[in-house]
Amino acid sequence: MTTLEKELSIFALGGINEIGKNMYVVQYEDDIFVIDCGSKFPDESLLGIDLIIQDISYLQDNKDNVRALIITHGHEDHIGGIPYFLKQLNLPMYATDLTLGLIEIKLKEHGLLRSAEMHLIDDSSTLSFGSVDITFFRTNHSIPDCVGIVFLTPIGAVVHTGDFKFDLTPVNNDPPDIHKMAKIGDNGVLVLLSESTNAERPGFNPSELSVGSHIEEAFRKAKRKVFISTFASNVHRVQQVVDAAQNTGRKLVLLGRSMLNVVKVASELGHLDIPEGMIIEPYEIKKMNPQNVAVLCTGSQGEPLAALSRLASANSRHTEVLPDDTVILASSPIPGNETNVSRIIDQLFRLKANVIYGTEEGMHVSGHARQEELKLMLTLMKPKYFIPIHGEYRMLHKHRELAQSVGVEQENIFIINNGDVVDFDGATARQTRSVKAGRVFVDGLGVGDVGNAVLRDRRLLSEEGMLVILITVNKENGQLLSEPDTISRGFMYKPDAKELIDEVNETAKAAVGNVKGTSGNDATAMRQHIKKAVETLLYERTKRRPMILVYVIEI
Amino acid sequence: MTTLEKELSIFALGGINEIGKNMYVVQYEDDIFVIDCGSKFPDESLLGIDLIIQDISYLQDNKDNVRALIITHGHEDHIGGIPYFLKQLNLPMYATDLTLGLIEIKLKEHGLLRSAEMHLIDDSSTLSFGSVDITFFRTNHSIPDCVGIVFLTPIGAVVHTGDFKFDLTPVNNDPPDIHKMAKIGDNGVLVLLSESTNAERPGFNPSELSVGSHIEEAFRKAKRKVFISTFASNVHRVQQVVDAAQNTGRKLVLLGRSMLNVVKVASELGHLDIPEGMIIEPYEIKKMNPQNVAVLCTGSQGEPLAALSRLASANSRHTEVLPDDTVILASSPIPGNETNVSRIIDQLFRLKANVIYGTEEGMHVSGHARQEELKLMLTLMKPKYFIPIHGEYRMLHKHRELAQSVGVEQENIFIINNGDVVDFDGATARQTRSVKAGRVFVDGLGVGDVGNAVLRDRRLLSEEGMLVILITVNKENGQLLSEPDTISRGFMYKPDAKELIDEVNETAKAAVGNVKGTSGNDATAMRQHIKKAVETLLYERTKRRPMILVYVIEI
Q: What is the DSSP string of A107-143?
A: HHHTT-TTT-EEEE--TT-EEEETTEEEEEEEEB-SS
Q: What is the mean pLDDT of residues A22-34?
A: 97
More confident of the two residues A473 and A298: A298
Query: Residue B176 pLDDT more than 70?
Result: yes
Query: Residue A422 pLDDT more than 50?
Result: yes
Answer for the pair A330, A358: CB distance below 8 angstroms, yes or no: no
Q: Which of A312-316, A449-453, B196-200, B266-270 has the lowest mean pLDDT?
A: A449-453
Q: What is the mean pLDDT of residues B266-284?
A: 96
CB-closest option in A397, A445, A458 to B465: A458
More confident of the two residues B229 and A336: B229
CB-closest option in B338, B466, B494 to A461: B466
Q: Which of A131-145, B294-308, B495-509 has the lowest mean pLDDT?
A: B495-509
pLDDT of B478 reads 77
CA distance B459 to chain A (A): 6
More confident of the two residues A49 and A520: A49
Distance (Å, whole) CA A18 – CA A11:
17
Query: Residue B4 pLDDT more than 60?
Result: no
Query: Residue B513 pLDDT more than 90?
Result: no
Query: Residue B2 pLDDT more than 50?
Result: no
CA distance B320 to chain A (A): 19
Nearest to A75 by CA among A51, A39, A104, A49: A39
B495-531: b (≥16 Cβ within 10 Å) or e: eebeebbeebbebbeebbeebbeeeebebeebbebbb
Contact A553 B470 (CB under 8 A): yes
CB-closest option in B346, B449, B462 to A462: B462
Please report the sign of the dihedral spanned by the C-alpha atoms of residue A34, residue A38, residue A43, residue A46: positive
Distance (Å, whole) CA A339 – CA A343:
6
CB-closest option in A45, A446, A494 to B542: A446
Beta-sheet strand order (sheet of B466-473): B485-489, B466-473, B547-554
User: Hey, what's the torsion of the CAs at B183, B188, B190, B195, to 10 degrees?
Assistant: 20
Q: Which of A357, A454, A539, A550 to mutate to test the interface with B (most CBs of B within 10 A)?
A: A454
Contact B461 A463 (CB under 8 A): no
CB-closest option in A43, A48, A468 to B549: A468
- The phi and psi torsions of B471 (rounded to 5 degrees) equal -125, 130
Contact B470 A43 (CB under 8 A): no
pLDDT of B48 reads 86
pLDDT band at A180 (very low <50, low <70, confident <90, very high): very high
Contact B445 A542 (CB under 8 A): yes
pLDDT of A498 reads 86
Query: Residue A59 pLDDT more than 80?
Result: yes
Query: Residue A4 pLDDT more than 50?
Result: no
Residues of B in contact with A455 (CB under 8 A): 490
CA distance A312 to chain B (A): 13
More confident of the two residues A15 and A517: A15
Q: Are strands A251-255 and A293-297 parallel, antiparallel or unpaired?
A: parallel
Q: What share of chain A is helix, strand, coil (3-state, %, to 5)?
A: 35, 25, 40
Residue type, position A411, single letter:
E
CA distance A542 to chain B (A): 5
Residue type, position A1, single letter:
M
List the alpha helices (DSSP H) in A132-256: 178-187, 208-221, 235-247
Q: What is the mean pLDDT of residues B526-544?
A: 91
Distance (Å, whole) CA A12 – CA A34:
10
pLDDT of A409 reads 97
CB-closest option in B45, B342, B454 to A490: B454
Contact A349 B468 (CB under 8 A): no
Contact B453 A397 (CB under 8 A): no
**Strand pairing partners for B126?**
B135
Q: What is the mean pLDDT of residues A199-203?
A: 95
Residues of A in contact with B549 (CB under 8 A): 468, 487, 489
More confident of the two residues A23 and B334: A23
DSSP 8-state code for residue A284 = G
Contact B468 A472 (CB under 8 A): no
pLDDT tens, position by position, B372-387: 999 999 999 999 999 9
pLDDT band at A2 (very low <50, low <70, confident <90, very high): very low
Q: Which of A306-320, B166-180, B460-474 has the lowest mean pLDDT?
A: B460-474
Query: Residue B297 pLDDT more than 50?
Result: yes
Q: Which of A410, A466, A539 to mutate to test the interface with B (most CBs of B within 10 A)?
A: A466
pLDDT of A185 reads 98
Answer for the pair A265, A301: CB distance below 8 angstroms, yes or no: no
pLDDT of B18 reads 61
pLDDT tens, position by position, B63-84: 999 999 999 999 999 999 999 9
pLDDT tens, position by position, A469-525: 998 888 887 788 888 989 889 998 877 788 899 999 999 998 887 765 444 557 788
Answer for the pair A225, A293: CB distance below 8 angstroms, yes or no: yes
CB-closest option in B48, B448, B470 to A462: B48
pLDDT band at A6 (very low <50, low <70, confident <90, very high): low
Nearest to B546 by CA among B465, B469, B453: B465
Residues of B in contact with A350 (CB under 8 A): 393
pLDDT band at A125 (very low <50, low <70, confident <90, very high): very high
Contact A547 B464 (CB under 8 A): no
Contact B339 A43 (CB under 8 A): yes
Distance (Å, whole) CA A421 – CA A435:
7
Q: What is the mean pLDDT of residues B312-317?
A: 92
pLDDT band at A387 (very low <50, low <70, confident <90, very high): very high
Residues of B in contact with A541 (CB under 8 A): 445
pLDDT band at A339 (very low <50, low <70, confident <90, very high): confident
pLDDT band at B246 (very low <50, low <70, confident <90, very high): very high
Q: What is the mean pLDDT of residues A406-435?
A: 94
Task: Provide long-range contacts, Cβ within 8 A and 24+ apart, for B330-334.
Answer: B330/B211, B330/B215, B330/B228, B330/B229, B330/B230, B330/B237, B330/B241, B330/B300, B330/B363, B330/B364, B331/B229, B331/B230, B331/B231, B331/B300, B331/B301, B331/B363, B331/B364, B332/B359, B332/B364, B332/B366, B333/B301, B333/B302, B334/B301
DSSP E strands in B196-324: the ranges are 226-229, 251-255, 279-280, 293-297
Q: Which of B19, B46, B458, B496 to mutate to test the interface with A (most CBs of A within 10 A)?
A: B458
Answer for the pair A61, A51: CB distance below 8 angstroms, yes or no: no
Contact A551 B338 (CB under 8 A): no
Rg (CA), chain A: 29
CA distance B403 to chain A (A): 17
CB-closest option in A393, A460, A547 to B350: A393
Residues of A in contact with B336 (CB under 8 A): 338-339
CB-closest option in B445, B462, B493 to A449: B493
ipTM exceeding 0.95, yes/no: no
Mean pLDDT, all residues of chain B: 92
CA distance B14 to chain A (A): 17
Contact B335 A350 (CB under 8 A): no
| Top-confidence range, A38-52, B11-25, B93-107 | B93-107
DSSP 8-state code for residue A290 = G
Q: What is the mean pLDDT of residues A254-263?
A: 95
Contact B350 A446 (CB under 8 A): no
Chain B residue at shortest CA distance from A456: B490
Q: What is the mean pLDDT of residues B322-338?
A: 93
Chain A residue at shortest CA distance from B492: A450
